[in-house]
Structure 1
Amino acid sequence: MDNCSTFQTFGNTEMFISDVECARNIIFWSDSCNFFARPFRWLFLYNQTSILDRDVHASFLNISILIDSHVITASLQENRTFVLKRIFKFRKETELIEKHIGSWDPLRRLKINSSDLENGYNMRNFQRTVLKTCLVITQNDSLYHLTDKRDKHIDSIAKVNYVIIQHLKDFVNAELIYKVTSTWGYKNNDSKWSGMIGELTERRADIGGTALFITVDRIAIIDYIAMTTKTRSKFVFREPKLSYVTNVFVLPFDWDVWISILGLLIIAGLVLLAIVKWEWKRNKYITMNEIEVHMELRDSVADVIFLTFGALCQQATSVVPYSMPGRITTIFLFISLMFLYTSYSANIVALLQSSSKSIQTLDDLLKSRLEVGVDDTVFNHFYFPNATEPVRKAIYEKKVAPPGQIPKYFPILEGVKKMREGLFAFHMETGPGYKLVAELFDEGEKCGLQEIQYLQVPDPWLAIQKNSSFKEALKIGLFLIRESGLQVREIDAIYTKKPVCSNRGNSFISVGIVDCYAPTAVLLGGILLSLLLFIIEHNINYISRKRGRNMA
């Protein structure tokens, strides 16, 4: 500083005080150092009798005193009163604008006009200044439906933010010129940014008209001013049937009950075997006719096992014990297992109609047998192949783009249709996706929808040029738009919430081959075992007969 200027600190406020008449070099130097931007404040003093206002304006002709600057001129009048004005420009090349904010005199000291101060500092009037805005549109037809709410599932985020930007334009009294690009912007091989971010970094756009995700590499080159669209991109899928992820035929009873049933069979079998052996010891006191009529169950372990197993499977038996204790034991065994069988069957029916909640995390999804698809959008094509976290990377490499196969990117309509068929997890924006779900799914099919977050990013925010002079004014405007409820209204008009399950009990799930896998495996195993035993018995019989003929 020279003897024409001074620097003062008031709390957290840093202020420069200078005389206009002898501070022209300081003005140019401060502009080159960006000292007219926030958070610095300037007070320029001059005598109205010795220097005219037009000369003051000439001093700031090519200086960047933009709308986020706090530069005040104090002109000394003949009556020893200072007139305070705030000066600023909307752009460096535009003319200087003055806003009267008050006065100071030795008697009444400082007098501030609050309405002028508000208009001068909050800058709610851009005076129809043109703001260059960049929109991200992935489908060209969306340009004709930005406000009519048609095809809300296509370019939803662009349509919401377009309307919010229109409200912002009206709020600050600005004009907008739009440029359209097909991508948000990613680094090229030469380290340059494409799409909307490229427009902002190259200063061909003042503000991004479509919200985008906050990432580490973007924070250094653009500023974020407000979260305008609360949206989520998630894996959405219908809960798979319980039989698809586990064997439902072992679920009706706890393991304690299964052990108790096994104990019941063993005890009943041993008691029955003891009674049958006792009966056969008594047969010497019974005539042969009585034995042929009554004594049909042999005292062998195999016969008792088959009778007990038949009772477990609720099959009738052609042989019964002869004595009253044996018959009581048999009846007790059949009745006990009948009640267990009834309870078991009722539970099986309920379990076959049940869905599983076992898939709760990305790791569960990776290990499951669900197929995976991804919405065919620009940011999904970027984030999925570039995932570095092990589970997310494995999901892409094993399920989305397995080696030797075409990557599973689908249009959102096709992906939702595949999701309706079941056993398919589709990564999509939930707002547009749920609109199609509400239209395509039956009421019962809307129940059991599950979500899993994949992208590790917060909600999208609107972006602006780095260190833009419009940042604070637009941030305040967007805050007031959100506070007034306009933002929520526009979001609700475009985005559809998750459908409510209203009649889960009325839905019916058909039983497929997967549900019957366990009993089918048992049946096939029994058939194969019986064929094996048949072949073994046939060979043994054949060998025995052949030996008999040779000995003869």
Structure 2
Amino acid sequence: MYRSLTIVCAIFICSSFALSVSKENYITVIVDVIQSFNKPSDVISNVCWTNIYKKKLTANLAAADNPRSIKFVNDIHAKDLVHPEKVTFLIDVRCKDSGGFLNKAASRKYFGRPHRWFIINTPANEVSVPLVIDKMHLLPDSEVYVMQLINNSYSINLIYKIKPNREWIIENYGNWSTENGLTISRRAKKVALVMRRRNLARASIVTSMVITDNGSFADLETLRYKQIDSVTKGGFHQLTALYEFMNASREFVFTDQWGHHVNGTWHGMVGHLADGTAELAGAILFITKERMPLIEYMSHPMESSIKFLFREPPLSYQNNLYLLPFQASVWYCVGSFVLVLIFAMYFSAYWEAKKVADEKQKADDTTVLVPTISDVTIFVMCAISQQGSTVELKGMLGRFMILILFLVFLFLYTAYSASIVVLLQSSSNQIRTLTDLLNSKLELGVEDTPYNRYWFMNEKEPIRRAIYEKKIAPSGSKPKFFDLTEGILQLQKKPFALNCNLGVAYKVMERYFYEHEKCGLQEISYLQNNNPWQAVRKGSPYREIFKIGLLRNAEFGLNDRTNRIMFSKKPVCSVRGGSFVSVSLVDCYPILLLLLYGMILGVMLLLVEILYYRKMNTRP
């Protein structure tokens, strides 16, 4: 009996000692692995250990190189995840409550980035996935380390699935032994986690594509009609390299809308990303506050600026040409000179009339300028307009003044006329803002696309709203939404501004515009945020792989190649001299207005003279 009791005690002591040694090793392995992350960690632990080993683990973590902290919990609380990028969950699957803890974590999506998990799965005879997480979906964005005791050493493995219906992938992170400590595998040490998981083994990744024309389905590869659904076709070719980078197969869902919030739900491409139908957007999107909780913006792959495009209008559309030849100071000098000449001519005429009276000569010569302000003023006006006069001054001084008068205004008239000819062929560069565009005489139109219709019809900012209500869709008329080619042809024929995708518009211009018509092109942005971005579903497990792949496309010039194929840059003005245009009614408007006012004033003066004449003749 004593012998049996001795054997039992010996077995108990040996097992206790072995358990103690194993717990000590657990602590060392845990600390070494967490320290290998080279980042501060807030450890949230769910283990059923005694207080002695919990205190030892706490002390060893506190003594590590980088700051570490640990909190022992029985349940998951959001208040413990203040800095999720620092959190490392530690759990022992042998504890009876570990299953509930893991299930709750999975329901709250805590297995995705940026959280880390360290799972103790010992003892084990071979590398395996713990049964408590076998049915869970730990996808490529997870970082779950499993520690197992195999052949007197501890194996630390990373486990994940490419997709929920795929097999587990087990990757060796490193091994720990009492002799060598933690030895990290060469691949884990040299290659980043996301790059080790980028091979998706031809798993299908769903992409949402925006197609507004049925012909685009067959034209995604051939690109025969680049101006139709150009953004989607460009995105299709840019994402081809991304799929090759991930070794994934493509699967598409199609829609005819980019997606906006309507009646409490999201539709279109954004709707596909929001409800998880698609992982990746097949077309670029503008950043809006409403979309931020649903999608994540990754990169800026293409220059697809949506702006008002117009040719500089004739100068007469913005200014009165007949006031521009001279600066204000010149006009003041000319006015002062005219007044001086009127008074000088008046005194000269008055002097000659007095001289004739003193010499008792007859003063009935009709070719002599009468010394009245009205006659002298009309004489000077005749000289200014180069019309000549039937009267003149007879004296030497008067003749000299007439010579000076006609000579000065001959030079002014020549300079003024030459400037007018130049200005009639000049264009205005004064339209620089949306306010200028609203107040200009340009007609406005918009390329007929789903996003343009949405943005213009729902804009609340006063200037932009006024542009839509007064220029695009005035009351009682059909909104001016055009096919791109139709809008470009109008831009060619008349002063017109078209809101469109510039890269595609310039490609259409290359087909229809003459070289001199490519000069004077101006752009004004209508959208407040005019930089489109590539987007993915919020919380996508492939987000980091997408990010690396998209940046790689940009670095290798793949995006630039597609952009050069799909879009054109602003054409260079090389033959501006060929842009001769005929004088239009707008150019002559100020002169015709002056003629009309002169005729009205002449009729009024005639009526005044008639009334004055009758009044004078009715006196007794």
The two structures have a TM-score, normalised by structure 2, of 0.82
Query: 1:308 aligns to what?
Result: 380
| Cα shift readout 1:245-271 (whole Å, capped 9, x = no counterpart) | 221111111222111111111112211
Q: Is the 8 A contact 2:284 2:533 kept in 1?
A: yes
Partner of 1:88: 160
Could you tell me whether the CA contact under 8 Å between 2:306 and 2:502 is conserved in 1?
yes
Distance in 1, matches of 2:110 and 2:348, equals 107
Q: Tell me, what secondary structure is at the counterpart of 1:384? A: helix
Deviates more, 1:505-514 or 1:127-136: 505-514
Moved more, 7-16 or 252-261: 7-16
Aligned equivalent of 2:32 = none
Native 8 Å contact 1:90 1:126 kept in 2: yes
Distance in 1, Cα, partners of 2:583 & 2:595: 18
Q: 1:2 aligns with which of 47, 54, 62?
A: 47
Q: What is the letter of the counterpart of residue 529 of structure 1? A: L
Matched, 1:162 2:236: yes
CA offsets, 1:446-492, max 9 Å, x none?
Answer: 11111111112242222222211111111111111111111111112
Against the structure 1 CA distance between its residues 10 and 211, is the aligned structure 2 distance closer, same or farther, given a 3 Å change threshold? farther
Q: What's the CA shift for 1:215?
A: 0.9
- 1:110 counterpart letter in structure 2: L
389-398 or 222-231, which deviates more: 222-231
Gaps of 5+ in 1: none
**1:217 and 1:208 mapped to 2: Cα distance?**
17
Structure-to-structure mapping, 1:346-495, within 5 angstroms: 346-495=418-567
Q: Distance in 2 between matches of 1:491 and 1:257?
A: 52
Q: Report if the CA contact (8 A) 1:18-1:43 is conserved.
A: yes
Aligned with 2:286 (options 210, 213, 217): 213
Q: Cα–Cα, structure 1 residues 284 and 459, in superposed 2: closer, same or farther, change >3 Å? A: closer
Aligned pair in 2 of structure 1 residues 542, 27: CA closer, same or farther (>3 Å)? closer
Farther off after superposition, 64-73 or 502-511:
502-511
1:396 Cα deviation from its structure 2 partner = 1.2
Equivalent of residue 171 in structure 1, options 245, 250, 271: 245
Is the aligned partner of 1:317 residue 2:389? yes
- Tell me, yes or no, if structure 1 residue 243 matches structure 2 residue 288: no
- The aligned residue for residue 102 of structure 2 is 27
Shift of 1:336: 1.0
Distance in 2 between the 1:338 and 1:537 partners?
33
Cα separation, 2, equivalents of 1:57 and 1:172: 28
Q: Give the AA of the match of 1:168.
A: L
Of 507-516 and 523-532, more deviation after overlay is shown by 523-532
CA distance in 1, matches of 2:397, 2:583: 43
1:142-169 alpha-carbon deviations (Å, 9 max, x no partner): 1222233322221111011101111100
Count of residue pairs brought into register by the alignment? 543
Question: 1 CA distance for matches of 2:101 and 2:357?
Answer: 132
> Structure 1 residues 477 and 487 mapped into 2: Cα distance closer, same or farther (>3 Å)?
same
- 1-structure distance, mates of 2:86, 2:344: 97
Q: Which amino acid aligns with 1:37?
A: G
Offset at residue 382 of structure 1 (A): 1.0
Name the amino acid aligned to 1:301. Answer: I
Structure-2 separation of matches of 1:225 and 1:295? 88
Please point out which of 151, 176, 179 is paired with 2:225: 151
Post-superposition offset of 1:53: 3.4
Cα distance between partner residues in 1 of 2:367 and 2:295: 96
Which whole-Å CA distance do the structure 2 matches of 1:261 and 1:121 have between them?
A: 78
In structure 2, distance between residues paired with 1:82 and 1:52 = 11
Answer yes or no: is the 8 Å Cα contact 1:203–1:465 preserved in 2. Answer: yes
* Alpha-carbon distance, 1:175 to partner: 0.7
Deviations 1:46-66 (A, max 9, x none): 346x44434x35443211211
1:279 and 1:201 map into 2 onto residues whose CA distance is: 97
Corresponding residue for residue 340 of structure 2: 267
In the alignment, the residues of structure 2 paired with residue 226 and residue 370 of structure 1 have an alpha-carbon distance, to the nearest angstrom, of 36
Closer/same/farther in 2, CA of residues 119 and 296 from structure 1, 3 Å limit: closer
* 1:509 correspondence with 2:584: no
Q: Partners in 2 of 1:378 and 1:481 — Cα distance?
A: 28
- 8 Å CA contact retained: 1:229, 1:459: no
1:236 partner SS:
strand
Q: Any idea what the Cα deviations from partners look like across 1:42-96, whole Å, max 9, x if unmatched?
A: 2223346x44434x35443211211111112233232x32223211012233221
Q: Deviations over 1:210-269 (max 9, x none)?
A: 121111111112222222222111111121211112211111112221111111111122
After superposition, the C-alpha distances for 1:296-317 in whole angstroms (9 at most, x for unaligned) are: 2222222211111111111222
Deviation at 1:389, TM superposition (A): 0.9
Letter in 2 for 1:2: V
Partner of residue 105, structure 1: 177
Range with greater deviation from structure 2 (391-400 or 198-207): 198-207
Pairing 1:219-234 to 2, within 5 Å after superposition:
219-234=292-307
- The verdict on how the C-alpha distance between 1:99 and 1:3 changes in structure 2, with shifts beyond 3 A counting, is same
Amino acid at match of 1:309: M
Describe the SS at the equivalent of 2:159: strand
Q: Which amino acid aligns with 1:282?
A: K
Tell me which moved more, 19-28 or 476-485: 19-28
The amino acid across from 1:153 in the alignment is Q
CA 1:133/1:96 → structure 2, altered by over 3 Å: closer, same or farther? same
Paired with 1:356 and 1:114, the residues of 2 have a C-alpha distance of 67
The alignment status of 1:46 with 2:91, answered yes or no, reads: no
Asked whether the 8 Å contact 1:228–1:461 carries over to 2, the reply is yes
Counterparts in 2 of 1:87 and 1:458: CA distance versus 1, 3 Å: farther
Given that residues 101 and 116 in structure 1 are in contact (C-alpha distance below 8 angstroms), is that contact kept between their aligned partners in structure 2? yes
Do residues 36 (structure 1) and 111 (structure 2) align?
yes
Question: Residue in 1 aligned with 2:329?
Answer: 256
Contact 2:349 / 2:393 at 8 angstroms: preserved in 1? yes
SS of structure 2 residue aligned to 1:515: helix
2:169 partner amino acid: I
Q: How far 1:29 sits from its partner (Å)? A: 3.4
What is the percentage of aligned positions where both structures have the same residue? 36
- RMSD between aligned alpha carbons? 2.5
